[in-house]
Structure 1
């Protein structure tokens, strides 16, 4: 009998602590969003919790670079974004946030995030290996998902999250002789429309690799693969909230504890 009551109460508490999940798309994080800490660009959309995981019409979503890529420093480095002003768990308003980290590597050359030293500390966006663009065979810049922390109701690391993958990327600083390659997919210049690469056809990717490959010039009509750099990227994450047990469940726990005490 005691065992049955314990199982019943556990079921009540478990029901009150069911997880809520939302898929959030983060779009258009540009190459100006990694060279200095502070406010960054981007948009967010989501579904699943209270109809939307974003700040919606309140306009309170804040994007910040909390750890930047340092110009002239060696590989690897950690790039960290913080997205706040969200309502993930439906409790307390738009006071939830998450932090996502990427490990960024190159082909062995130092990072370049500035056109020249006079650009400090802004005008980052010349992300490349060595010079201001990828222009030699074997050069690459790779973003690899590393970690994610979900913060609910002003707390720290009290939710859970999952990486769902990169969804798209776009090219900067390219022209009529350029061939850009993301995750093994090459595209030759023909118009501004061809700057955007959809990465979802074969399933979302855990990493984003922008590389220069002379062999990508297979048409025979281009003089060379040119020079280009990654410009912007989009990705998706899943955030999960496990709400605290309701007051009814807590009262039940207290009553159950009292019953056990009386029967001893």
Structure 2
């Protein structure tokens, strides 16, 4: 039989250092792509919304967002600074040199929170104690946190911790969380061209919502028309969803949801239709 010493858990290197960085384009004239999902070209649907279908006009439609109520910021998300806070990358290094990495939105401000506050709850810790570290970071930011930037910074650290633990145990993180549950994961796409998404083999498409309550009944009519065009492009049986990006109100959401649920449209769901403060 094995001795008690042989049965003991192996030693894990402690966390040595937590570092945070911002991403930066080699050429500042270029847009930073990838993780900086908000810092994209003017033609990208995140910033504006291209009309549906082949041969459509190049004119941009609006895209509903929390600032749509203010005309000067209605047209493009970047006009009100959606890209002002860029991405951040967090590295958590163990004593043996193994590094875990996590990415979130947070920019320089998020990096400051990580290095000057959150790092103390990780450095010197056993990297397996992720739940303990998360609880301490969450509780410690109560006087300025609970949503927004502090939670985004915490998220990057949390992701880096899981990445580190997976590397130390030499297995993917999904195995740490209980293992695979299926052989294939169906994926939908988010874009303004559901017809292209269908051709590429995605199982569904989430399209951006162009208009919000500030556009009145005419905006509601145009939203329904837009969704009808999307349904005509992909036909029946292909799941369609609507991305509302916190732009709607409760009454507006209910009215739109009821219309989208009708058989001629048959949308699967609406995403993020209210600001978080209204839930």
Higher relative contact order (CA 8 A, sep 6+): 1
Bin of the TM-score, shorter chain as denominator length: under 0.3
The structure that has the greater radius of gyration is: 1
TM normalised by structure 1 equals 0.24
What TM-score, normalized to structure 2?
Answer: 0.23
